[in-house]
A and B are shown apart, each in its own frame.
Chain A
Amino acid sequence: MRSEKSNRAPLSLKIAAAAGLAFMHLPILLIFLYAFTTEEKSYQFPPPGLTTQWFGVAWDRPDVWAALALSVKVASIATATALVLGTLCAAAISQTRFFGRETISLLVILPIALPGIITGIALRSAFSMADIPFSFWTIVLGHATFCIVVVYNNAVARFRRISGSLIEASMDLGADGFQTFRYVILPNIGTALLAGGMLAFALSFDEVIVTTFTAGQQSTLPIWMLEELIRPRQRPVTNVVAMIVVVVTFLPILGAYYLTRDGDQIAGASK
Chain B
Amino acid sequence: MTTAVLFDNVSRHFGVVRAVDRVNLDIAEGEFFAMLGPSGSGKTTCLRLMAGFEQPTGGHIEIFGETAEGVPPYRRSVNTVFQDYALFPHLSTLDNVAYGLMVKGAGREERRKAAEDALAMVKLPGYGTRRPGQLSGGQRQRVALARALVNKPKVLLLDEPLGALDLKLREQMQEELKSLQKSLGITFVFVTHDQGEALSMADRIAVFNEGRIQQLGRPEEVYNQPKTRFVADFVGSSNVLSTKLCQRLGVKAAFASLRPEAIALAAPSNGALSLAGTIAGQSFLGATNRVVVDVDGARIAVASPAAHAVPAIGSPVTISFAARDLHPMEDA
- Going nearest first, the 7 A-B pairs with the smallest beta carbon separation are A270-B89, A173-B100, A169-B86, A165-B86, A175-B103, A171-B73, A270-B133
From known contacts A163-B86, A187-B90, A271-B89, infer whether A174 and B51 are also in contact, taking CB-CB under 8 Å. no
CA distance A183 to B84 in the complex (A): 20
Contact with B along A163-178 (1 / 0, CB 8 A): 1011011111111100
Taking CB atoms, residues of chain A closer than 8 Å to B52 are 171
Taking CB atoms, residues of chain A closer than 8 Å to B99 are 170, 173, 175, 183
Residue of B nearest to A179 (CB): B103
Q: Is the CB of A168 within 8 A of B102?
A: no
Q: Is the CB of A183 within 8 A of B103?
A: yes
Taking CB atoms, residues of chain B closer than 8 Å to A184 are 88
Contact with A along B87-112 (1 / 0, CB 8 A): 11110000000011011100000000
Q: Is the CB of B131 within 8 A of A169?
A: no
Contact with A along B76-92 (1 / 0, CB 8 A): 00111010101111100
Taking CB atoms, residues of chain B closer than 8 Å to A172 are 51, 73-74, 78-80, 148
What is the predominant secondary structure among interface residues of chain A facing chain B?
Answer: helix
Q: Is the CB of A169 within 8 A of B74?
A: no
Number of A-B residue pairs at CB separation under 8 A: 72
CB within 8 Å of A: which B60-75 residues: 72-74
Query: Is A138 at the interface (CB under 8 A from chain B)?
Result: no
Q: Is the CB of A175 within 8 A of B74?
A: yes
8 CB contacts below 8 A, A to B, read A169-B82, A171-B53, A173-B100, A174-B151, A176-B72, A269-B133, A270-B131, A270-B133
Size category, B interface: 20 to 34
Residue of B nearest to A164 (CB): B86
CB within 8 Å of A: which B140-165 residues: 147-148, 151
CB within 8 Å of B: which A171-214 residues: 171-176, 179, 183-184, 187-188
- The interface on chain A, measured as residues whose beta carbon lies within 8 A of the other chain's beta carbons, has a size of 22
Q: Which of B84, B131, B132, B147 contacts A173 (CB 8 A)?
A: B147
Q: Is the CB of A176 within 8 A of B74?
A: yes
Q: Is the CB of B82 within 8 A of A174?
A: no
B residues near A, CB below 8 A?
Answer: 51-53, 72-74, 78-80, 82, 84, 86-90, 99-100, 102-104, 131-133, 147-148, 151
Q: Is the CB of B88 within 8 A of A169?
A: yes
Q: Is the CB of B132 within 8 A of A270?
A: yes
Q: Is the CB of A171 within 8 A of B74?
A: yes
Q: Which of B79, B80, B133, B147 contacts A271 (CB 8 A)?
A: B133
Taking CB atoms, residues of chain A closer than 8 Å to B74 are 171-176
Taking CB atoms, residues of chain A closer than 8 Å to B132 are 270
Q: Is the CB of B103 within 8 A of A173?
A: yes
User: By CB atoms of chain A within 10 A, which of B53, B88, B132, B133 has the most?
Assistant: B88
Taking CB atoms, residues of chain A closer than 8 Å to B131 are 269-270
Q: Is the CB of A168 within 8 A of B90?
A: no
Taking CB atoms, residues of chain A closer than 8 Å to B103 are 170, 173-176, 179, 183
